[in-house]
Amino acid sequence: MPLDKKGRVKRGRKGGLASADVRRKKTIPRNKALVLAFKYLTPGMYLSQKDKERAIEFLIKKGLGPYHPPEKISVLVYLATAVDLSKDHLQRILKKALK
């Protein structure tokens, strides 16, 4: 049975919401790992041993290794280039997580 205009709009909206849910579920673990990596790379931030291991694992997976950024590069820029996010987007993620 062909859909009328309202049916097509409803089907499109439902598909869009499902797509947004999938994207959201993928970004939540990435954002948590980003926060741990930021805390690991920032001097003076406390992390438990388990969290340090998770942060190092994330950094290795992104191709950075457990190394701190060179002195002239900020931690934000260092992480943003590794994850292909803008510095501003990364700042928003960290601000939301570190409240």
The share of the chain scoring above pLDDT 70, in percent, equals: 99
Distances in Å between the alpha carbon of 73 and those of 23, 62, 69? 30, 17, 6
Statement: residue 2 has pLDDT above 80 = no
For 66, which DSSP code?
Answer: S
* Residue 35 pLDDT level (bands cut at 50, 70, 90): very high
Structural domain harbouring 61: 5-97
Query: What's the number of domains the chain is made of?
Result: 1
* Residue 1 pLDDT level (bands cut at 50, 70, 90): low
Statement: residue 12 has pLDDT above 90 = no
Statement: residue 65 has pLDDT above 90 = no
Can you give the pLDDT at residue 34?
93
Can you give the pLDDT at residue 49?
95
Contacts of 39 (CB under 8 A, 6+ apart): 45, 46, 47, 51, 55
